[in-house]
Amino acid sequence: MKKSKNEEIKSNENIVQMSAYDQFSIDYAGYGFFVTSYRVTPKIDGLISVKRAVIIAAYLLAKVDPNNTMKSATIVGMILRIHPHGDASAYETLVNMANTFNCKYPLIRKHGSFGTVDGDKAADMRYTECTLSAFCYDVVLAELGKSPNTDFSVDWIYNYSKEFLMPAYLPVRLPLLFLNGSDNIGFGDKVEIPSHNITEVIDTLLRVMKNPKDPCVMVPDHCQACEILDTNWKDIAKHGSGRYKVRAKINVCEYCGDNKEYFGHQMLRILSLPNFVYLNNILSKVDELMKEGKIIQIKGYENKAVLDRKSEETNVDLWFILQPGSDPEYVKSLLYSKTDLQKTFTINLNIMDKNTREHLNYNQFFNKFLNFRRVTKARILANELQALQTDNAKWQSYIDLIKSGIGCNREICQKV
């Protein structure tokens, strides 16, 4: 029997009257929080979600061979099963994790054209190959098992389609966040942590192990050998935020090339660039300044970059030949002030700890990382204990070893 139009339809739903603007504000705020928290902000392992997806996809899904490379397109397809975004953005992330001029300690070992420091783009993913780097296997994956049924060193969660389980984070052995840094922008916020020298990071970690209140003052170390202008590093370490300036390395010397027109001229030799600054952009800016008459001392330029067959990358070696009578130091100061050869970087140390987004200073981060390592090692020992208990023969020999007291301390210490 049909209900009349005037008959009230009974429903368990609670209908709330709200304007479209108010509902949009609520939904967009929730979306913005999700993006900032889970896609932009790194976890304690130093990785944002897409970079973690690259490693997990290559290691657990594509099962790349450390000694052989695999088509990048194959790995990108696996990444999209974890991180459901465009293949172009996934491939761009993979490329940045492979180039030494973008990633201080590359997590990807590449084969093929992955772009250049000149600003040339990487070849299409179907033409390039890659695998995980030795650094990635040693620092990021050394303590990760391949099955959620036997590995309890990390938490395992379902991917977005609930097809399979994957690590919620990776059991990194060193503070990767300070080694490679993180530079991500999201909904009304930005996370910026520069890269640092691995020796200084390890030394700092050892000091904090001995004294948790030890001030962790460190100076960034960019991918290329740049000049970092002095600033209040103690204040930056204390608050986990601040600014600093980086300059490209520029030498003043006499022209030594083959062009007879430039014989006897002085030149500025650019040997490095700040992070994510490319030569093509510098040349375009200098050309613009010359046309506007703001820099009239440059007569020409030559790019003397050489391809390293082993790393498959070109170095930075750009020559600006000066007009006769020009003051090289003055031209250098113009280049620093007018182009990205001098660039200001900010530091904003934010991380996701479980479901909480926190702003930390350097000391707080290193203490939190040490606690993370303690928990990880305890979980790894639990894995080993379970394996021993499963194998009765090994378990009995282990018990006998402990009871005898012979070599007991040494064996336990090695496991811890």
105 tagged catalytic: no
Q: The tokens of 133 are what?
A: 């780097």
Per the listing, tokens 């705020």 go with: 29
Cα-Cα-Cα-Cα dihedral of 402, 403, 404, 406, to 10°? 20
- Please say whether the beta carbons of 265 and 276 come within 8 A: no
Of the candidates 240, 138, 238, which has an alpha carbon nearest to the alpha carbon of residue 198? 138
Catalytic residue among 28, 31, 127, 330: 127
> Whose CA is closest to 194, among 406, 346, 336?
346
Which residues are tagged catalytic? 127
